[in-house]
Structure 1
Amino acid sequence: MRYVVPVALSTLALALAACATQEQTAAPNVLVAAKVTTPPTLDGNPNDAAWASAKPISVALSDGANFAGGKGETTATLKAVYSGDTVYFLVQYADPTNSIRRGPYQKQADGSWKKLRDPADKGGDDNVYYEDKWAMIWNINNSIAGFDKQGCGVFCHAGEPGKPFGNKYTAKEGELGDMWHMKGQRTAPLGHVDDQYLDHTRYDPQKSPAAGRKSDPGGPEYKGFGLVNGKPEFMNKDGKPANAGGTYYIIDGNQVPFDDSKFKPGDEVASFLIFPLKGDRADIKVATRWANGVLTSEVSRKLTTGSKFDVQFSDLNASYGFGFAAFDNAQVRHAVHYEPLYLRFAK
């Protein structure tokens, strides 16, 4: 009997060592959220001590528009930590340009105003005058069949009529994806990632032009405005051109009637208002910063939200499947990672 305790302790030690080794050597497609006492501050600066506790994963992205050399490729680095009732993500990837000129109006030499558009855009596919974005899609309750093998590709449908870059929808009713959509000029300036979701709705040009992509209750995030008597309907109350110290968006409440006398040929101004998200749609907080060819986002969300449109990180022993994509000045042509990724929580 005197050998039982030492053997038992030895076995326990080996088991614990095996668990530790397993956690430290997670598969390359597994993002492990480290448990931290002090969470990171959301300011777009990745130097928080909390991030040093997290092991990064590298996510190769391809087949998008723009990025370095116009090849549509980049590599994202993702980290995750959790503290209390909140999970945090650090998203970073190389992006050679800070894309902020989303569809501005530009004053012409003859004094008229023109909205700048991608000349190759055949409808919802601007890759010249847009914004930087990234997106995560989470498999809610493992409801999306085939996600564990195909990742995001299981609900991306290219080559369908009506959309030059395809549609997004799940295969059948009951399959739901939680889409986190960071929009650099429409949601990030007010500190939010757009909380959206994906269902089985098929594309219809009148009834469902966005197919299965929908937004959680609590919007809108922006609203465009047109030309009135040949001039933009609004301007920012600071009166600054967007390309001379102003912004390419106007926060709702800061719009005033347009004063054409303040602008000279070549000046650009915003073409849309942005609004703070509310309720269900405002669950995800973000601080985004572009510097020296790298886009950095610090993100937070409660582990559980109670919304049927959200993934619930309620079981810290479970794995949560997700996909990731990045958009460089592109409306829809995202650089994507085709294989599934998984989030797990360290103890």
Structure 2
Amino acid sequence: MLLFGPYPRIVLLHWLATPLCLISLVSGLRLQATSRPDNLSRALASLLPQGDMYGLHLWAACGWLLLCCAYLGHRQLSQRGRRRNPPSATLPAATLKGHHPFNHWLIHLGRWLVLGLVIIGLMLWLGGSTFAGGRLLMLHRWLAWGLLVYVVIHSLAQWALAGRVRAILLPHLPRRHWLTAVLVTVSLGGMSSLARPAWLWLTQATLPVPNIAADLIITIDGDASDSAWQQAPVRQVDTLQSGNDAAVVPVQIQALRQGEVIYFRFSWPDTSPSLRHLPLVKTAEGWRIQQHGFSQRDETEFYEDKLAVLFARHPDAAGASTLQQGPQPLAGKPAHITGRAYHAAPAGELVDVWHWKAVRTHGFNQLDDSHFGPAYPTVPGDIHYTGGYRSDPLQAGGYAENWSWPGDGIVTPKRLPRDPALLAPFQQAGADDPNLYWGLSWYETRPYSAQDDHYPIGTVMPSVLWKTRLEGDRGDVRAVARWYRGVWTLEAARALAATSRFDLELQDGIYMWVAVFDHSQTRHSYHLRPLRLQFSGGVRL
């Protein structure tokens, strides 16, 4: 940049800002089309890029930070040389032609728009998407729309006043500067790629994991009243409900290490527990799944509460860059039924996913251990393709849905209760009864037969069948959750060492995210910046 005079510098800065503006806008529009679709983002959906949009948006943000620093340097150099070289002596005639007062005002407006977006973006990253109750995120979104409108108006103004829209992509630079311009452009891309991991490292948050004495007792019961928890610092992560800028779900997290075991406590508010999971109701046509979105993989009413915990080696945004957005973000793979996103890790990476499910894992004292890996191959006959998301291998036990194929919602149950009286509590229960988990033990049921199906129309039956504890990799995390006075508390424990290739060793420096599902199948709260586990050296007594 020092090799350029004032005019070549400002032209180059404008040229570099153009692709950054385009990348920021299209990635931001894809983020909006996924979380809060509106008519315009839906209309543009087919033109928008797909894949790791949070990663691309963060890369562009690092580019903007570097470009802002370069612009400040340009301003400093220009102030020094302004007295010796008046603007009319250095600017080409075509450029002077475009110096209309309206165009001059537009240029200043664009600078303030970009500056506002960069500052608010920094605040959202450092303070979380929930900063200022989600209002900053809404402001960031509206400023982005303003920038899109500005780009259109600015281009039209340049064409009307100076006839040089072509200069946006092919700026007027002396030939001797073009090689340097290309080198600077490539350097900016490389520096942005380097700045992204550096920025992630510099802005990381930590979750202290103190060592505790071996004689302290921690009971995994969802109560968290054990004295050991008084020694663990509390970190609160404010998660934002996807699609609702004002729906903030704070999650309090603690962690302890005892020997070769690590313990976690998670708690989050929920005004009422959701303990129904796609119940069946008897109709004149047969048994029907109660649902208002399950057929589109988007149930938000007849579904259980859940919590997901992600562990990864790298701190990239959106769960270590596992959120692949778009209707078909994975090349050569099926389109997603919701048209929003798949979870799939980059090649060679693994993200350990702990999935607590209020109904399906109830009574096992375990949660469902899963993972995000690279996109799996498609298998003919699969009900739905899940990208890189799979449960860990299961040897025996677990739970099952009480149907073989959901079809159009009318199903034939796999099993019926041995004693019809087992269904009595579900006929009078309220939807939010905190004491009634909507499931049946596999061993209290028998195979379905039409002769036994004498239940009257209107009978409601749980669809979850509990077998036995999960055996194998899928069941290696002990966990119990309890809802009490508007708060879920989940306690979990696992060995530090990874017991299979689908798990990560939980050690100092591992990154963690959490996501809350409030009676929702796929829509969950989220946060961008992870917590880094920070183990202490000594034993606290």
TM-score higher than 0.5 here? Answer: yes
Q: State the distance in 2 between where 1:65 and 1:100 align.
A: 23
- Deviation per CA, 1:53-72: give whole Å up to 9, x if none: 11110011113379xxx954
Q: State the distance in 2 between where 1:59 and 1:156 align.
A: 19
SS in structure 2 at match of 1:50: helix
Partner amino acid, structure 2, of 1:169: A
Assess if the C-alpha contact under 8 Å between 2:336 and 2:342 holds in 1.
no
Q: State the distance in 2 between where 1:71 and 1:290 align.
A: 24
Q: Which residue matches 1:100? A: 275
Q: CA shift at 1:89, angstroms?
A: 0.5
Q: Which residue matches 1:123? A: 296
Q: State the distance in 2 between where 1:230 and 1:223 align.
A: 14
- Asked whether 1:293 is paired with 2:511, we answer no
Structure (1/2) with the larger helix percentage:
2
Partner amino acid, structure 1, of 2:225: N
Higher mean C-alpha deviation, range 75-84 or range 218-227: 218-227
Q: State the distance in 2 between where 1:98 and 1:223 align.
A: 21
Q: Are residues 102 and 343 of structure 1, via their aligned partners in 2, closer, same or farther at CA, if it must alter by over 3 Å?
A: same
Q: State the distance in 1 between where 2:306 and 2:404 align.
A: 27
Assess if the C-alpha contact under 8 Å between 2:473 and 2:499 holds in 1.
no
Identical amino acids, percent of aligned pairs: 26
Aligned pairs for 1:250-289 (under 5 A) are: 250-257=440-447, 259-261=452-454, 266-275=458-467, 276-289=469-482
Aligned pairs for 1:65-104 (under 5 A) are: 72-104=247-279
- Deviation per CA, 1:103-156: give whole Å up to 9, x if none: 101235x695322011x45521111111111111111xx2xxxx4241416111
Assess if the C-alpha contact under 8 Å between 1:61 and 1:325 holds in 2.
yes
Q: Which residue matches 2:359? A: 185
Higher mean C-alpha deviation, range 32-41 or range 209-218: 32-41
- Higher RCO (CA 8 Å, separation ≥ 6 residues): 1
Structure (1/2) with the larger strand percentage:
1
Gap runs ≥5 in structure 2: 1-202, 328-334, 430-435
Assess if the C-alpha contact under 8 Å between 2:204 and 2:529 holds in 1.
no
Q: Which residue matches 2:219? A: 41
RMSD (Å) for aligned C-alpha atoms: 2.9
- Deviation per CA, 1:225-280: give whole Å up to 9, x if none: 3399976442344532235576422233222356555x555442122323321121
Q: Are residues 123 and 150 of structure 1, via their aligned partners in 2, closer, same or farther at CA, if it must alter by over 3 Å?
A: same
Would you say how many aligned residue pairs link Structure 1 and Structure 2?
305
SS in structure 2 at match of 1:192: coil
- Asked whether 1:52 is paired with 2:253, we answer no
Gap runs ≥5 in structure 1: 1-26
TM-score by length of 2: 0.52
Q: Are residues 121 and 61 of structure 1, via their aligned partners in 2, closer, same or farther at CA, if it must alter by over 3 Å?
A: same
Q: Which residue matches 1:150? A: 317
Partner amino acid, structure 2, of 1:223: A
Q: Which residue matches 2:504? A: 311
SS in structure 2 at match of 1:190: coil
- Asked whether 1:32 is paired with 2:208, we answer yes
Q: CA shift at 1:93, angstroms?
A: 0.1
SS in structure 1 at match of 2:241: coil
Partner amino acid, structure 1, of 2:488: L
- Asked whether 1:214 is paired with 2:381, we answer no
Q: CA shift at 1:331, angstroms?
A: 0.7
Q: State the distance in 2 between where 1:250 and 1:74 align.
A: 31
Assess if the C-alpha contact under 8 Å between 1:283 and 1:305 holds in 2.
no
Partner amino acid, structure 2, of 1:127: T
Q: Which residue matches 1:5? A: none
Assess if the C-alpha contact under 8 Å between 1:203 and 1:210 holds in 2.
no
Q: State the distance in 2 between where 1:290 and 1:65 align.
A: 25
Q: Which structure has the larger Rg?
A: 2
Q: Are residues 230 and 102 of structure 1, via their aligned partners in 2, closer, same or farther at CA, if it must alter by over 3 Å?
A: closer
Q: Which residue matches 1:235? A: 416
SS in structure 1 at match of 2:443: coil
